[in-house]
A and B are shown apart, each in its own frame.
Chain A
Amino acid sequence: MRIITYRQALNEALDEEMARDERVFLFGEDIAIYGGAYGVTAGLWQKYGDQRVIDTPISENAIVGTALGAALTGLRPVAEIMYIDFIGLCMDQLNNQVAKIRYMFGGKCTVPLVIRTEGGAGRTLGAHHSQSLEAWLIHIPGIKVVMPSTPYDAKGLLKTSIRDDNPVVFIEHKMLYNTKGPVPEEEYLIPIGVADVKKEGKDVTIVTYSRMVLFSLEAAEILEKEGISVEVIDLRTLVPMDIETVVKSVKKTNRVVIVEEDCKTGGVGAEIGMQIIENGFDYLDAPIVRVAGADVPMPKSPVLEKLAIPDVERICKAVRSILS
Chain B
Amino acid sequence: MEITKELAVKLLKQMMEIRQFEDMIMELLAKNIAEGGSHLYAGMEAVAVGAISVINPDDYITSTHRGHGHAIAKDGDLKALMAEILGKKTGVCKGKGGSLHLADLSKGNLGANGIVGGGLGIATGAGLSIKLQKQKKVVLCFFGDGATNNGIFFECLNMASLWKLPVVYICENNKYAMSVSVERSHAVKDITKKALAFDIPAENVDGQDVLAVREVVGKWVNYAREGNGPSFVVANTYRYYGHSRSDPRVYRTREEEKFWRERDPIIIFSNKMKEQNILTEEEINAIEEEVKKEIEEAVEFAINSPYPEPEELYTDLYV
Listed in ascending order, the chain A residues whose CB lies under 8 Å from chain B are 25, 51, 56-57, 59, 61-62, 64-75, 92-93, 96-97, 101-110, 141-142, 144, 164-166
B110 contacts across to A, CB distance below 8 A:
69, 72-73
Are B101 and A59 neighbours in the complex by a CB distance under 8 Å? no
Task: State the CA gap A102–B120 with chains docked (Å).
Answer: 18
Q: For chains A and B in complex, what number of residue pairs have CB atoms within 8 angstroms?
A: 137
Are B114 and A107 neighbours in the complex by a CB distance under 8 Å? no
> A69-B110, A108-B105 known; A97 and B93 CB under 8 Å?
no
A-B contact pairs, 23 of them (CB 8 A): A56-B159, A57-B155, A59-B156, A59-B159, A61-B151, A65-B120, A65-B121, A65-B124, A65-B125, A68-B122, A69-B123, A70-B125, A72-B105, A72-B110, A92-B152, A96-B115, A97-B115, A97-B121, A102-B319, A104-B97, A104-B103, A108-B103, A108-B105
Task: State the CA gap A96–B65 with chains docked (Å).
Answer: 13
**Which of chain A's residues has its CB closest to B113's CB?**
A97
B101 contacts across to A, CB distance below 8 A:
104-105
> A62-B124, A73-B60 known; A109 and B129 CB under 8 Å?
no
A149 CB to closest chain B CB (Å) equals 24
Asked if B91 is an interface residue, CB under 8 A from chain A, the answer is yes
A103 contacts across to B, CB distance below 8 A:
96, 316-317
A100 CB to closest chain B CB (Å) equals 8
B91 contacts across to A, CB distance below 8 A:
106
B159 contacts across to A, CB distance below 8 A:
56-57, 59, 62, 66
Task: State the CA gap A70–B156 with chains docked (Å).
Answer: 13
Are B317 and A69 neighbours in the complex by a CB distance under 8 Å? no
Are B156 and A97 neighbours in the complex by a CB distance under 8 Å? no
Task: State the CA gap A92–B115 with chains docked (Å).
Answer: 9
Asked if B230 is an interface residue, CB under 8 A from chain A, the answer is no
B318 CB to closest chain A CB (Å) equals 5
Are A65 and B156 neighbours in the complex by a CB distance under 8 Å? yes
**Which of chain A's residues has its CB closest to B122's CB?**
A69
Are B93 and A70 neighbours in the complex by a CB distance under 8 Å? no
From 19 to 64 in chain B, residues with beta carbon under 8 angstroms from any chain A beta carbon are 60
A75 contacts across to B, CB distance below 8 A:
129, 132-133
B92 CB to closest chain A CB (Å) equals 7
A78 CB to closest chain B CB (Å) equals 13
**Which of chain B's residues has its CB closest to A67's CB?**
B125
> A59-B155, A104-B103 known; A96 and B114 CB under 8 Å?
yes
A74 contacts across to B, CB distance below 8 A:
129, 133
Contact among A106, A110, A166 with B96 in the assembled complex (CB-CB below 8 Å):
A106
Task: State the CA gap A101–B316 with chains docked (Å).
Answer: 10
B129 contacts across to A, CB distance below 8 A:
69-70, 72-75
Asked if B94 is an interface residue, CB under 8 A from chain A, the answer is yes
Asked if B126 is an interface residue, CB under 8 A from chain A, the answer is yes
**Which of chain A's residues has its CB closest to B103's CB?**
A105
Asked if B4 is an interface residue, CB under 8 A from chain A, the answer is no
**9 nearest CB pairs, A to B:** A65-B121, A69-B125, A107-B316, A106-B94, A66-B125, A62-B155, A59-B155, A106-B93, A69-B122
**Which of chain A's residues has its CB closest to B108's CB?**
A73
Task: State the CA gap A101–B94 with chains docked (Å).
Answer: 13
> A59-B159, A97-B118, A108-B105 known; A73 and B94 CB under 8 Å?
no
A139 CB to closest chain B CB (Å) equals 14
B155 contacts across to A, CB distance below 8 A:
57, 59, 61-62, 65
- B117-147 CB mask vs A (1 if < 8 Å, else 0) is 0101111111111101100000000000000
Contact among B106, B114, B319 with A110 in the assembled complex (CB-CB below 8 Å):
B319
B283 CB to closest chain A CB (Å) equals 37
Are B94 and A109 neighbours in the complex by a CB distance under 8 Å? no
Asked if B268 is an interface residue, CB under 8 A from chain A, the answer is no
Asked if B95 is an interface residue, CB under 8 A from chain A, the answer is yes
A96 contacts across to B, CB distance below 8 A:
114-115, 118
Are B121 and A64 neighbours in the complex by a CB distance under 8 Å? yes
Are B93 and A108 neighbours in the complex by a CB distance under 8 Å? yes
Task: State the CA gap A79–B234 with chains docked (Å).
Answer: 31
17 more CB-based (< 8 A) A-B contacts, given A62-B152, A66-B125, A110-B319: A57-B155, A57-B162, A62-B158, A66-B124, A69-B122, A69-B128, A72-B122, A97-B115, A97-B118, A103-B96, A104-B97, A104-B103, A105-B93, A106-B96, A108-B105, A109-B103, A166-B319
